[in-house]
Amino acid sequence: MAKTSHSKTAKNGRNGSGPQRRSLFRRLITWFVLIIVLLVGLPYLLIPLYALPQIHPVSTLMLAENAAGRSYERQWVSFDAIAPVLVQSVMMSEDGQFCTHSGVDWKALNLVIDDALDGEATRGASTIPMQTAKNLFLPSTRSVLRKALEIPLALWIDVVWSKRRLMEIYLNIAEWAPGVYGIEAAAQAYFGVSAAKLSARQAARLAVTLPNPIKRNAANPSRSMQKLARVIEGRAKQSGAYIKCLYD
C-alpha cells in the first residue's frame, strides 16, 4: 500500500509540472507583451505633456550619454531667443515644406519608396516632425521598423504641438557636434555667440551640419560644406513664404 501511494504521488507531481511550466510561460509572454505595449504607447502619452512650454524634453542620445557616464552640453532656449535666420536656414536645409505638411511629406516619402523598390539609391525624406520623433523616442539606427514607428509619432506630434513648439523642441534637442545638443550650446561652441546673435553665414553652416554632426564642423567647414552652406544661405533669404506658420 505504501508503495502504491508513493507511486501515485510521484505520478501526480509529474503531471502537475506540465501545467505549471505552461502557466509560467504564459505569464512571461503576458509580461513581454505588456512591456512592448508600454514602450510603444508611452511616447503618445508624453507628447501632450511635452506641449507644455515649461517642459524641456531630452533625446534618446542624451539619455545614452548619461547611461554611459558621459557629460554633454545643452542649454534650452525659447523659440523667440533663436535668430530667425537660423530657423530659416534649418527649415530650408531639412524640411522646406514644414509649414504645409502634417508631419509627413508623403510625396517625398513615396518617391523614396519607389526608388527603393526599383533598386535605386534612396535620398532622405524625413521631415522635422519625423526627426523630432526619432530624436525623442527612438533609436538612431536606421531600420524599416524605426520608420514604421516614426511616421505615426510624427503625425501625432503635428496634431498636438504648434509649429513653433515643434521647431523649438527640434532645435533644442538636435545634435550639432559630438556631445553638443541644442542650438544655444552649438552657437556658443562653434562661434562664441548666443543663438539669438547668429549671422546668416553662421546659421547656414550650422544648418548643414545637422545631417552628419559627427563629421561636419560648422566652424571649420570643408569646401563642399561651404558650397552647400552658400546655397542654404541663399534659400534662407528667399524663405519668407515658407515660414509664415512660425512668424505670422
Q: pLDDT tens for residues 156-173? A: 999 999 999 999 999 999
**Which of 50, 73, 91 is at the close of a domain?**
50
DSSP 85-148: HHHHHHHHHH-TTTTTSSS--HHHHHHHHHHHHTTPPP-----HHHHHHHHHHS-SS--HHHHH
Give me the pLDDT at residue 2, please.
Answer: 47
Q: What residue numbers bound the domain in which 168 lies?
A: 51-247
Q: Is the pLDDT reported for residue 87 higher than 90?
A: yes
Tell whether 23 and 85 lie within a shared domain.
Answer: no
Tell whether 3 and 126 lie within a shared domain.
Answer: no
d(CA 182, CA 179): 10
The x, y and z cell numbers of residue 171, run together, are: 532645435
Q: Is the pLDDT reported for residue 123 higher than 60?
A: no
Tell whether 121 and 187 lie within a shared domain.
Answer: yes
Least confident interval from 5-9, 78-82, 196-200: 5-9
Give me the pLDDT at residue 14, please.
Answer: 52
Least confident interval from 105-109, 118-122, 129-133, 145-149: 118-122
User: Taking the model in full, what pTM does it have?
Assistant: 0.83
In this structure, are residues 129 and 104 in contact, taking their beta carbons and an 8 Å threshold?
yes
Tell whether 41 and 65 lie within a shared domain.
Answer: no
Tell whether 236 and 157 lie within a shared domain.
Answer: yes
In the numeric block, the cell 515643434 is attached to 166
Tell whether 154 and 197 lie within a shared domain.
Answer: yes
Tell whether 9 and 70 lie within a shared domain.
Answer: no
Give me the pLDDT at residue 37, please.
Answer: 64
First to last CA, the chain: 94
In the numeric block, the cell 505615426 is attached to 152
> In whole numbers, what is the pLDDT of the chain averaged over residues?
87
Tell whether 69 and 179 lie within a shared domain.
Answer: yes
* Segment 67-84, tens digit of pLDDT: 999 999 999 999 999 999
Q: Is the pLDDT reported for residue 134 higher than 80?
A: yes
Give me the pLDDT at residue 216, please.
Answer: 96
The x, y and z cell numbers of residue 146, run together, are: 524605426
The helices-and-strands tally (H runs, E runs) of the chain is 11, 2
99's enclosing H/E stretch is: none
Tell whether 29 and 72 lie within a shared domain.
Answer: no
Tell whether 179 and 166 lie within a shared domain.
Answer: yes
Q: Could you give the percent of the chain with pLDDT greater than 90?
A: 67
d(CA 89, CA 203): 6
Least confident interval from 8-12, 115-119, 210-214: 8-12
**pLDDT-derived band at 154, boundaries 50, 70, 90:** very high
Q: Is the pLDDT reported for residue 248 higher than 70?
A: yes
Tell whether 34 and 68 lie within a shared domain.
Answer: no
3-class secondary structure, 73: strand
d(CA 185, CA 204): 16
**pLDDT-derived band at 147, boundaries 50, 70, 90:** confident
Give me the pLDDT at residue 114, please.
Answer: 61
> How many domains is the chain partitioned into structurally?
2
For residues 20 and 91, the model is more confident at 91
Q: Is the pLDDT reported for residue 24 higher than 80?
A: no
Give me the pLDDT at residue 122, please.
Answer: 46
**pLDDT-derived band at 218, boundaries 50, 70, 90:** very high
